[in-house]
Every structure is written in C-alpha cells, then in structure tokens.
A and B are shown apart, each in its own frame.
Chain A
Amino acid sequence: MKKIAAIFIILAVAAVFGLVIFSLWDTQMLPKAVKKISPQKIQRLEPVKPAARELLPQRPEDYGMIVTDENTMPVGQKQYDAFIKDKISKLKSEYPLETWNKVQEKIKEDPAVTRQKISQIDEAIEKCRRLLEKEPENIEVRQKMERLMMLRSIGESLPSPR
C-alpha cells in the first residue's frame, strides 16, 4: 500500500512539474516578430538609412577564380590550352560523372563538325595574327584573337563524343 502510494505521489509530482515546465516553455515559443508593445509607446519610424555594412574585399582564389594581368595572361594558343584544359580537368574531378554526361549530351555533335569548327577558328586566328602584324596596337583585333583562342581550347577540352 505504501509502495503504491509512493509511486503514485512521485508520478503526480512529476506530471505537475512537467506541465508547469511545458507551460513556461510554450510561452517562450512566440515568434520573434511579435513585439509586445503598448499602443501608447509606438515610436515614430525613422527614415531608412543607406546601407552601412562595411564592404571588405575578398580573395578571388577563394572562389576558384583565376586572376591574370599583362604579365601573367596567356599569350598563345598553347598557354590558353594549358590554362583552360587544366581548369576543366579540375572541374571534372569536382563534379559527378552525371553532370559531365549532361554536358556531353548538350554539346553532342559529329566529331568531324567540331574539327571543321576548330579549323575555321584557326583560319580566323591566322587572319587576326596577320592584322596584328600590321596594326600591333589594334585592341579590338587582339581581344577577338584572345576569344578565338579561348574557344579553340574549349572546343578541344570539353567532353564530346569523338
């Protein structure tokens, strides 16, 4: 009898304690957005100030970016090939095969067509080179040649059924 009474008391006290704790905890679960204020204490809104967060420069290499300048930028096709092929091979190792299969599916074309495109790019690069010999300061042609070399490297490096 005493044992039953003791167990009953312990259970009852535990239940009451749990109920009180739960009530207190539940009260704390109000959303943070709900601010309890008195209507008399509503303050006049201040105009929004321009964003004042400090802007700290970050390092490009932390995001896989490669910075080149006049001294380090690729100047020839071989350098572009090395630059882009190297990066693509790193990306390939970082991503699942499924991603690259999707890429391959998207750019799928007859290898002969790809070779023809690369040959057209070679012709265009050669034209640019000849123009630059006459006009070394022609920035537009120089930039065009750089883009052609980038495209050639991508044409050689991106996975495609060959």
Chain B
Amino acid sequence: MNNRGAALILSYIILAVLTIMGSAFVARSVSEGNIARRYFDSARAFWVAEAGLSRGYRDVVAGNTPADGEIDFSDGTTGIYQISLTERPFGTEIVSGGSFGTAQRTVSGLVYYIPSAFENTLSVGGNLSLIGLLARVEVYGKTRISGTYSKQFLASGWFEDKQEGVAQDLTTIKIPDYNNNGVKDEFADFVLFGREVAQSLPPEQVVYIQNSGTVNIFPNQGLIGKKVIFIEGASAGSGDVNIFFDATWREGEDLTIISTGDITYVEPLQFQTDARLSTISWEDYNEASIFRSEHESLMYAHLDGNFIDILDWGSTTGNLIANGNVSLKEVLTYEKYYFSDRAKNGDLPAGFSRLGGASGTPRLTDWKEI
C-alpha cells in the first residue's frame, strides 16, 4: 500500500519536473532566436553605418553635403543611415549612424587631405646642401626642393627623382589655424595642435609634459604602448628634446614625439621589426650618429632639418619634411633614404593626420566605432 502511494507521488514529481524542463527548453529556444536576430540586426546596422560613412566621405570630397539614406538588402529589408559632419582645422569629421531592425551602430572617420609633402622622401621648403668630404648620399623616391641643391667638392649625391624650384605648397606643411583667428602657422596654433593630438588619444597612450628645459628621452619600457609624447615649452623654441639611441625599443612600437623646440635624434638604432619613432618639431630636426644607424620615421620640422656629424653609414625609411633648409653636414659616410608611404597606406603615425589642411589628396582616416 505504502509503495503504491510512493509511486504515485514519484510519478507526479517526475511529471512536474519534465514539464518544467520542457518549459525551460522552450524559453531557451526563444531566447536563442532573439539573440541570433539581434546579432543579425547588429551586423547589418554596422554595415549600414559603414555605407553611410563611405557615402559621407564621397560627398565631402566632392564638395557636396551628405544626405541620410537607406540601404536595401536582397531579402527585402531596409537599413537607414544618418550622417553628421563637423569641420575641424585639420579636416572634416564624419559620424554615421546605421540602424537596422532593433539595432543601431555608429562609426566615425576623418576626411584628411594628405599634404603633397608626404609624397616625397625628402621635402625641402628651402635649400638642400650636402657638405662634407667623402660623403655619399642616396635618396630613393622623390626629392622636392623649393630652393636649390648644392654640394661640396668630393661629396656625392644620387637622387632617384629630384626637382628644384618646386612651389612651397608642395614641399611644406603649414600648421592649420587651430586658434581660429584666421592666421595659419602660428606658434599658438602649434601648441593647440599638440594638445589636440594628445587629447584625441586615450590617456594611457599619451605623455604630456610642460617643460621649457631640454628633455632627454631614452626610449625604455616605461614608454611601451605610448603613441605620443608632447613636450610643451612656454615659448616658441623652448622644450627641446634629445632622443638617445633606441635599441631598447620593442617590436611594433609606433611613437610620435612632438616638441615646441628642436628635436635631436642621437644614434638611432631601431632594428626591431615594425618599430617606428616619428617626430614633429616647431623648430629644427637634427640627427647624429657614430655607429651604423637605421630607423623608420616620419620627421616634420617647421624650420630646418640637419643631419650632422654622421660618421658611419645609415638608412632612414620614411619622409623628412622641413619647411626650411635641409643640410647634410660633415658626412663622412654613406647614407641612404628610402620612401615609406604611410599616409597613402592609411598608416600615419599619431599626430600627423592633425597636420592636414584643406587641400591635397583626400583620405579617410581615424576610423572608429563609437
């Protein structure tokens, strides 16, 4: 009798458990369906936003005002993108929001006009001079000089493609009008440029130092992962930087050093794969080495570029842009310059996209999802 009662209770319990389990499975199936649908909507919303960004870029480059639009999919569904623009001193920021079904994704990018100077290996706003005995310089890619090229007796220069007397618009970069006073290329513009660059990056990627002395940098582990060091002096020409050999640099590092004074790179020793160290200086860029040196960099000097006292052979890959003169002095060695088109490859080091202006070759850069 007792056993029969127990079997009945057990049957009820098993029935209840099976019912609950069945309900849970049904709930889970519905939930998975929702998840899949929302993933699907999200992916489509992303590509709709991308389409809007692409459309916005095309319209901005063509001088038109981008309009919102729809994207029709082959299954009969439709996504909507909305575009907004913000004019900045260095280009136009585009924000595109895409919506599909129940999802919305937003992406943004910067229409940046690559200054012509980035197309050259050596871009010289003034004169280029090669001074020294038994010196040999080879420059691959374009050399564009607004002034003239001269060399001392016994020095030799080989240029793959050299032109003198080129318009300064094609060899120099003026700092955009960051303080919006109608005048470009002022020291105040440069300071605001440096701050803009520093503020545009996550705090952990930036070192911002206000100092009017000379800052001696030895790239080390404390700088791993940094994208920008901005040394801001109190006045034009202060805040000089010396960078000492960077043999301790890590692979893949890509740092830009910005200074309101001179930047001097002493004994570049970058031999790590894909390691780069670029510079932007309000005044001169100087480089000196005693041992074999090599580095990949973009170097922008608002004034002169001086490669001095080089006593060995070396190679530089990238671009040197100097609004003033470039001199290769006391070169007792063999120096090669190779071109690296990081601008056109959309791989500009931090900060350089903020040097753009209203003309040049357009590119979409600084892509991010908001």
Write the residues of chain A forming the contact surface with B, with a CB cutoff of 8 angstroms: 1-2, 5, 8-9, 12-13, 15-16, 19-20, 22-23, 26-27, 29-31, 33-39, 42, 44-53, 55-60, 62-69, 72-73, 84, 87, 91, 94-95, 99, 102-103, 106-107, 109, 117, 120-121, 124, 143-144, 147-148, 150-152, 154-155, 158, 160
Given known pairs A19-B21, A19-B24, A50-B196, the reply for A45 and B84 (CB within 8 Å) is yes
Contacts A12-B14, A30-B39 known; 13 new A-B pairs at CB < 8 A: A26-B35, A27-B35, A34-B42, A47-B84, A60-B215, A65-B217, A91-B218, A106-B271, A106-B291, A107-B269, A120-B311, A154-B267, A160-B291
8 Å CB interface, B65-88 against A: 80, 82-86, 88
8 Å CB interface, B175-219 against A: 195-196, 198-200, 203, 207-218
Bound form: Cα–Cα A1–B5 in Å? 12
**Contact call A51/B21, Cβ cutoff below 8 A:** no
Q: Which residue of B has the minimal Cβ distance to A72?
A: B213
**Contact call B207/A63, Cβ cutoff below 8 A:** yes
Q: Judge whether B164 is part of the interface by a CB distance below 8 angstroms.
A: no
**Contact call A150/B311, Cβ cutoff below 8 A:** no
**Contact call A33/B105, Cβ cutoff below 8 A:** yes
Q: Judge whether B59 is part of the interface by a CB distance below 8 angstroms.
A: no
**Contact call B196/A147, Cβ cutoff below 8 A:** no
Q: Secondary structure of the B side of the interface?
A: mixed
Residues of A within 8 A of B262 (CB): 143
**Contact call A94/B13, Cβ cutoff below 8 A:** no
- Whole-angstrom distance from the CB of B256 to the nearest CB of chain A? 15
**Contact call B216/A103, Cβ cutoff below 8 A:** no
Q: Which residue of A has the minimal Cβ distance to B93?
A: A48
**Contact call A34/B218, Cβ cutoff below 8 A:** no
Bound form: Cα–Cα A33–B209 in Å? 35
Bound form: Cα–Cα A2–B10 in Å? 9
Bound form: Cα–Cα A110–B266 in Å? 21
Given known pairs A55-B199, A148-B309, A150-B266, the reply for A16 and B3 (CB within 8 Å) is no
Q: Which residue of B has the minimal Cβ distance to A104?
A: B247
- Partner of B108 from the list A48, A59, A84, A152 (CB cut-off 8 Å) is A48
- Partner of B290 from the list A44, A48, A106, A154 (CB cut-off 8 Å) is A154
Residues of A within 8 A of B28 (CB): 19, 22-23, 26
Q: Return the CB mask of B34-73 against A: 1 if under 8 Å, else 0.
A: 1100110110001000000000000000000000000000
Q: Can you list 27 pairs linking A and B with CB atoms under 8 Å apart? A: A16-B24, A23-B27, A30-B38, A34-B38, A37-B99, A39-B99, A39-B102, A42-B82, A44-B82, A48-B108, A63-B217, A63-B223, A65-B215, A67-B211, A69-B213, A87-B216, A91-B248, A107-B269, A107-B292, A109-B292, A120-B332, A124-B330, A144-B309, A147-B264, A152-B290, A154-B266, A154-B291
Write the residues of chain B forming the contact surface with A, with a CB cutoff of 8 angstroms: 3, 6, 10, 13-14, 17, 20-21, 24-25, 27-28, 31-32, 34-35, 38-39, 41-42, 46, 80, 82-86, 88, 93, 95, 97, 99, 101-106, 108, 195-196, 198-200, 203, 207-218, 220-223, 229, 242, 244-245, 247-248, 262, 264, 266-267, 269, 271, 286, 288-292, 308-309, 311-312, 330, 332, 369
Q: Which residue of B has the minimal Cβ distance to A38?
A: B102
Given known pairs A1-B6, A36-B103, A67-B211, the reply for A46 and B84 (CB within 8 Å) is yes
- Whole-angstrom distance from the CB of B362 to the nearest CB of chain A? 19
Bound form: Cα–Cα A36–B101 in Å? 9
Residues of B within 8 A of A26 (CB): 28, 31-32, 35
**Contact call A106/B220, Cβ cutoff below 8 A:** no
Bound form: Cα–Cα A139–B251 in Å? 37
**Contact call B209/A99, Cβ cutoff below 8 A:** no
- Whole-angstrom distance from the CB of B286 to the nearest CB of chain A? 7
**Contact call A12/B99, Cβ cutoff below 8 A:** no
Q: Which residue of A has the minimal Cβ distance to B210?
A: A57
Bound form: Cα–Cα A43–B172 in Å? 43
**Contact call A73/B214, Cβ cutoff below 8 A:** yes
- Partner of B42 from the list A31, A42, A51, A152 (CB cut-off 8 Å) is A31
- Partner of A144 from the list B103, B220, B291, B308 (CB cut-off 8 Å) is B308
Residues of A within 8 A of B34 (CB): 27
Given known pairs A64-B218, A144-B309, the reply for A56 and B244 (CB within 8 Å) is no
- Partner of B95 from the list A5, A48, A55, A91 (CB cut-off 8 Å) is A48
